[in-house]
């Protein structure tokens, strides 16, 4: 089975379309979204529609939560973006009532965790599924945090949230894409792993290309699975210009896409 993992689209339609086109060429069986479909970007409604159409399910990310409920612990720009996003999903001259209802229902059905056999899926971490960050630096700076996280995982976990692609192991160790031959990681028979496919719409690893991963595995089995990371070019300036044209969104939300930060 081939499962494509996407995460952190952040309302970047150009990036999402490019990634979906790339996925379609890989012969995958299904696509899963690890959350944050909206937030920061200029096309929240269109991205909700595409994820709802193309993904088997989507998790609830902290920005999805902010739009549904309230933005908590957000900086000023993220909070402004959340309220602007909410307005875009409300009834207006562009969308009929049924379309608006369908989008809100999709957001409202998002789960905070999904378990499929050996695999646990969350947006943030097993301890705090919606909003705890797992940073590569935690390997050195917070080993007790990672030990606590791994104690909640049977074999494998998929996360998003940090926008940095790679794999944690319970040594603990973090493998960046540069550490992997052909951007590929294979899960052995004994280790526990946490897989982050990176961000579709807002990469933060100094590479502006959209990021996602494909897991090749036996159904519900982690042992022997192969994780292949992909980077995809997309018309970044198209998204940057859209953000610049929206008064409520600070220009730097677009500018940072050009540097992948």
**pLDDT tens string 48-81:** 999 999 999 999 999 999 999 989 889 998 999 9
Answer whether 116's CB lies under 8 Å from 215's CB.
no
Q: Quick one: pLDDT band at residue 24, thresholds 50, 70, 90?
A: very high
Q: Say what the pLDDT of residue 223 is.
A: 84
Q: Say what the pLDDT of residue 237 is.
A: 97
Report the C-alpha gap between 84 and 256 in whole angstroms.
19
Is pLDDT above 80 for 240? Answer: yes
Task: Give residue limits of the domains in the chain.
Answer: 2-259
Chain length of the chain: 261
Region 85-113: mean pLDDT is 92
pTM of the predicted model as reported, rounded to 2 decimal places: 0.96
The CA angle 121-137-39, to the nearest 5 degrees, is 50
Is pLDDT above 80 for 93? Answer: no
Is pLDDT above 90 for 119? Answer: yes
CATH H-level, domain 2-259: superfamily: Metallo-dependent phosphatases (3.60.21.10)
Residue 21 CB coordination number (10 Å):
11
Region 129-137: mean pLDDT is 97
Q: Quick one: pLDDT band at residue 169, thresholds 50, 70, 90?
A: very high
């Amino acid at each position: 089975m081939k499962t494509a993992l996407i995460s952190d689209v952040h309302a970047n339609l150009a990036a999402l379309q490019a990634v979906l086109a790339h996925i379609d060429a890989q012969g995958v069986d299904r696509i899963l979204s690890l959350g944050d479909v909206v937030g920061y970007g200029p096309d929240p409604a269109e991205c909700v529609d595409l994820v709802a159409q193309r993904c088997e399910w989507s998790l609830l990310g902290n920005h999805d939560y902010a739009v549904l409920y309230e933005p908590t612990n957000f900086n000023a720009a993220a909070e402004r973006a959340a309220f602007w996003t909410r307005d875009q999903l409300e009834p207006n001259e562009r969308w009929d009532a049924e379309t608006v209802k369908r989008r809100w229902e999709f957001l409202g059905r998002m789960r905070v965790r999904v378990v499929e056999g050996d695999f646990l899926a969350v947006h943030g971490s097993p301890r705090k599924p919606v909003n705890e960050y797992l940073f590569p630096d935690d390997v050195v700076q917070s080993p007790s945090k990672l030990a606590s996280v791994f104690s909640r995982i049977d074999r494998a976990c998929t996360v998003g949230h940090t926008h940095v692609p790679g794999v944690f192991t319970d040594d603990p160790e973090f493998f960046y894409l540069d550490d992997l031959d052909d951007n590929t990681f294979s899960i052995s028979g004994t280790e526990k792993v946490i897989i982050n496919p990176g961000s579709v719409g807002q990469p933060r690893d100094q590479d502006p290309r959209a990021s996602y991963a494909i897991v090749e595995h036996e159904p519900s089995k982690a042992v022997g699975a192969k994780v292949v990371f992909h980077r995809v070019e997309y018309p970044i300036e198209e998204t940057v210009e859209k953000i610049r044209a929206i008064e409520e969104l600070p220009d730097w939300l677009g500018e940072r896409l050009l540097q992948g930060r």
